[in-house]
Amino acid sequence: MIATSTTHAQSTTDYADAVITNEDPIPGPPPKPAKRLGNLNFGVGYDSIVGLAGHLSMGYDKFLGIPDLHVAFGAQHTDFQSSAHFGLVGPFTRHSPWFWTASVHRDQSRLARELDLQVTSNNLHLGVGRALGKHWRVSTGLRSASHRTLGGGVLLDNAPTSFDGLALDPGRLLQAAWFEVEHRAENNPTGNFLQLPTGLHMVARLERSSSSLGSDYTYTHASLRASVGVDMPLGTHLLMTGRVGAANTPSADQMPLMDRYRLGTVHAFGGLMMPALGPTIDGTTAPLGGSAGAYGRAELSVPLWQRIGLHAFGGVEGGGIGQNLLETDTLSAGATVFGGVKWQSPIGPMRVAWGSPIAAPDQQPPLFVFQLGQAF
């Protein structure tokens, strides 16, 4: 995966020390730097799984001049997958602990370059929540989505029979209720992959979809994703990330294809993992995904030349995809060791990484990632 340079929508201003003279009196201390309110990130890159990719994201904390009204937009594209989202978060009243959220998401994927199969998802999320202290918040709401599968005949001919329903009923409506608990540390940047987060960032989510909500899907889905960053001696930094989740559903086609668990694609957990884990369309590497998944990654960053922002990094990641996390015979697992360098270059943050599978169901080629700008 890949990216380019990072700029800020409103940058911090540097003020020189004021010289106070009788001819030019300046009362009081120099003005404080302006508070940073937003960011803009964009980039391009390449990796050996998805090929060329492009990315754009933007966030602003005072949308339309309204304090505490946050807006976020993001989009990314490869030659066979793309996604975009737009979201708003705002308080019910000024400085209120209660807030509302609204967002729309669009995802489109062919799952593999060699297939005519195309899956499209349009999502609307609405919710309300409350901040609990400085770092915790809870929220609940509804999700409504339309799903459409084009060229679904390939599912009938080459996929496990449990996916036949997606081909026979290509247009479906999802209605679901959800509940989330979130913890976010103060230093947990999400925009620039050279910024090293510290503390805990965690989101636990429970979602339920059923015919009683007017949905064409039936499942109960629980998930947890978290990251922990730790500053260590000599400028080193350890970052551990992970995600685990599972859906209780009567059959595979009762969980949206775009929501199923995958590794190594736009709709995956990220990292360098190989994509062909879990169920695939016969004769291809097109990942149908599992209704359960787990992923973990540990990365150690070591400064090589602090003055120019040059770091080396390395670590290990592993994951499993299946139909039930508690039944090991349904899991398809893999692991990768990786290493590389990242540099705050004059044209933007740059990252190069190489990985080699150490445990995989089939022989996998070495993995390569180049990024210029924001990571995604």
The two structure tokens encoding residue 76: 């990314």
What pLDDT does residue 131 have? 93
Q: Which residues contact 28 (CB under 8 A, 6 or more apart)?
A: none
The torsion angles phi and psi of 11, rounded to 5 degrees, stand at -90, 160
Tell me the per-residue pLDDT of 110-140, one tens digit each, with 9 for 90 and over.
877 777 788 899 999 999 999 998 889 999 9
Architecture of domain 6-372: Beta Barrel (2.40)
CB atoms near residue 71 (< 10 Å): 18
What's the CA gap between 140 and 87, in Å, rounded?
A: 16
Alpha carbon of residue 133 to chain centroid:
25
The residues that bridge with 77 in the sheet, in sequence order, are: 54, 82
What's the CA gap between 212 and 215, in Å, rounded?
A: 7
Nearest CA among 45, 84, 22 for reference residue 353: 45
What pLDDT does residue 10 have? 35
What's the CA gap between 188 and 236, in Å, rounded?
A: 17
Query: Residue 328 carries which DSSP code?
Result: G
Mean per-residue pLDDT for 208-231? 94
The pLDDT confidence band at residue 35, using thresholds 50, 70 and 90, is: low
- Helix (H) and strand (E) counts in the chain: 2, 17
The two structure tokens encoding residue 82: 């793309």
Looking at the predicted structure, is the pLDDT value of residue 235 above 70?
A: yes
Nearest CA among 20, 39, 40 for reference residue 30: 20
The pLDDT confidence band at residue 22, using thresholds 50, 70 and 90, is: very low
Tell me the per-residue pLDDT of 52-82, one tens digit each, with 9 for 90 and over.
888 888 888 888 888 889 999 999 888 788 9
Tell me the per-residue pLDDT of 272-283, one tens digit each, with 9 for 90 and over.
777 777 777 777
Alpha carbon of residue 15 to chain centroid:
37
What's the CA gap between 358 and 149, in Å, rounded?
A: 35
Query: Residue 280 carries which DSSP code?
Result: B
The two structure tokens encoding residue 81: 């997958």
Nearest CA among 364, 347, 344 for reference residue 356: 364
- Please report which helix (H) or strand (E) contains residue 122, including its range: strand 118-132
Mean of the per-residue pLDDT values for the chain? 80
Helix, strand, coil share (%) of the chain residues, nearest 5: 10, 55, 40
**Least trusted range by pLDDT, from 157-166, 206-215, 232-241, 328-337:** 157-166
Output the CA angle 245-115-79, nearest 5 degrees: 80
C-alpha distance across the termini of the chain, in Å: 7
Q: Higher-confidence residue: 376 or 100?
A: 100
What pLDDT does residue 78 have? 84
The answer to whether the beta carbons of residues 329 and 308 sit under 8 Å apart is no
Nearest CA among 288, 237, 251, 275 for reference residue 357: 275
The HSE-up count of residue 264 (CA atoms within 13 Å, CB side) is 34
The pTM is what? 0.81
Q: Where are the domains of the chain?
A: 6-372
Encode burial over 288-299: b for 16+ CB neighbours within 10 A, e otherwise. bbbbbbbbbbeb
Task: Classify residue 209 by burial, with Cβ atoms within 10 Å: 0-12, 13-18, 19+.
Answer: buried
